Chain A
Amino acid sequence: MRTLRILIRTFIEAYGSIRYSGMSNLIVIGIMAVALALLGGVLQLNSTIKQISQNMDSQIEFSVYLQDSAVPDEIAKAISRNKQVERVEVVTKDAAWQRFKKKFDLVDDGAGNPLPNTLHINMRSPKYVNDVITYVKTLPGIEQISYAPELFSGLEKVRSIMFSLGIFLTVILGFGTFTIVSNTIQLVIRARALEIEVLRLVGVDDWYIRGPFILHGIFYGLVSALVAILPLWLFQKMVWDSFQSALKSLMPLTFNFNSGSELALIFIALTLIGMLVCGLSSYFTTEKYIRI
């Protein structure tokens, strides 16, 4: 019970410390929230693009566009002979044009059909996609092969660059926040020097004296994370989810996004990182400025 009473009083003292800091709290929380939001944004971007890449990697379908001179059924037969190919769907250029006009509500202006004859090839396993693509490329009359991973190799490069840049900026902001938290706690320690001295001289335990300041720092981390999570959540709902839906409708692929659990993990990570950085900053400050 004594420990519980001391713990409660530690929280009360921490509350007093936070109240004392006044407007400084907003500055610290604001800067920390920006750093965490940036980190969260980078993690969010990284997670989404990785999921897209993983979906691409596991695709078992690709499309082959044929030259006008090629006979679609003959090429389809040739491809079907491969045991790893489950099914080949032939979409003639006329059928494709009809579908296209219907989908986008176009009126035929007599300029002709620009679409090629197309084969949609379904594989039994994604393992042999590259082998079959290599084979298809050797067949005559092939105009182009559309395979998702190739489309997204550029996206992967963008992800890598943005991830590195984001982490770099986050680390710099993290150091900045570490210093600002430390300075704020230092000011509170100086303002409460008399209380600290009285507590030391009456034999109060070390952790009771330092505890409120460390809790003060952890509070900064927690609130900053909550502030950072709100815009990240809105961004996920309004931008990424719409982007993913658009991608699903545009590509002939089956996407399996799990943004909910990924987002929850990112939020938990941000909260823990925020609390850890601010808590450590406060801890080192008390070690430096409070002599027990």
Chain B
Amino acid sequence: MIKLRNVSKLYGPIKALDDVSLDFSAGEMVMIVGPSGAGKSTLLKLLYREEKPSSGSISIGNIQVSTLSDTKVPFLRRRMGIIFQDFKLLPNKTAFENVAYALRALGAEEFEVERRVAGALKLVGLLERAHSYPKQLSGGEQQRVGIARAIVQGPPLMIADEPTGNLDPATSLEIFQLLERISQRGTTVLVCTHNQKIVEQMNKRVVVLEGGRVAADMAQPDHAALSAFKLFQSDIS
């Protein structure tokens, strides 16, 4: 479903990504790990066309992301959900309104908005908190609202950049389990993380980036190999 071929990204003289080739299948959940500056976030930004590759090609389904014109970028982004470390929730809107915001902006009918938002909040276990404002929610709950917003359009791809970076270990595990459930419904989930413990607990495919290159691509996490890379922040894991 997602193909990267010989992708490089330069920021001036700095190579953020260097000749990366990867494939991700539909419904797959993949952990992308690596030290700071390894190119994890750059990889995700290339997928949602926040950045353009300096060379190489990227395709998602039948969309050629690397050559996509600027006017078609919104069309691409409607087919994916994006989750951030800082949640990016609007503080003056309730959980329901935050999830509904994008749907309304995209012109969905009100009954459809209500049905879809209720469904998404139910999936993340926050239906009863629908009318709470972000400041009334815990960090984990806020991130679940962020996930509900990402899945509300039913995208085939979900991209999460350090989704548990601001959360405690127990809550982080809950978020990853939620992402796994979403993946089991057929959505491809790509997650960047620093959390070695969770990477091992989740037991999913792991792509290790180091210095902008793919250092390892494991079908399942190998504790010894991951430890050898010294990729993770000890204070978080």
Contact = CB atoms under 8 A, between A and B. Distances in A.
Given A198-B88, A202-B149, A9 B77 contact: no
Nearest to B146: A198
B90 A194 contact: yes
A70 interface: no
Contacts of A152: none
Interface in A213-255: none
A206 B77 contact: no
B71 interface: yes
Interface stretch (B27-35, B103-111, B181-189, B208-216): B103-111
Interface in A129-149: none
A2 B108 CA distance: 7
A208 interface: yes
Interface in B78-95: 78-79, 82, 88, 90
Given A195-B90, A292-B70, A292-B73, A202 B105 contact: yes
Nearest to A13: B105
Contact of A198 (B75, B101, B153): B101
Contacts of B90: 194-195, 198
A287 interface: no
A94 to B, nearest CB: 87
Nearest to A204: B105
Max chain B C-beta neighbours (<10 A), residue from A195, A201, A208: A201
A203 B104 contact: no
A9 B105 contact: yes
A3 interface: yes
Contacts of A6: 105-107
Given A206-B74, A292-B70, A201 B105 contact: no
Nearest to B84: A201
Contacts of B48: 201
A202 B102 contact: yes
A204 B88 CA distance: 16
Nearest to B73: A292
Interface in B143-178: 149, 153
Nearest to B152: A202
A73 interface: no
Nearest to B81: A202
B73 A202 contact: no
B107 A3 contact: yes
Contacts of B102: 198-199, 202-204
Interface in A31-81: none
Contacts of B130: none
Given A194-B90, A198-B90, A202-B153, A9 B74 contact: no
B234 to A, nearest CB: 32
Interface in B27-52: 48
Contacts of B76: 203
A5 B109 CA distance: 8
B71 A202 contact: no
A89 interface: no
A202 B78 contact: yes
A204 B75 CA distance: 8
A205 interface: yes
Contacts of B149: 198, 202
Contacts of B82: 201-202
Nearest to A5: B107
A292 B102 CA distance: 15
A208 B71 contact: no
Contacts of B75: 203
A204 B106 contact: yes
A203 to B, nearest CB: 3
Contacts of A206: 71, 74
Nearest to B102: A202
B104 A9 contact: yes
Interface in A90-109: none
Given A198-B102, A204-B74, 6 more contacts: A6-B105, A198-B101, A202-B102, A202-B105, A202-B153, A203-B75
30 contacts: A1-B109, A2-B107, A3-B107, A5-B104, A6-B107, A9-B107, A194-B88, A194-B90, A195-B101, A197-B88, A198-B88, A198-B101, A199-B101, A199-B102, A199-B105, A202-B77, A202-B78, A202-B82, A202-B105, A202-B149, A203-B73, A203-B76, A203-B77, A203-B78, A203-B102, A203-B106, A204-B106, A208-B105, A292-B70, A292-B73
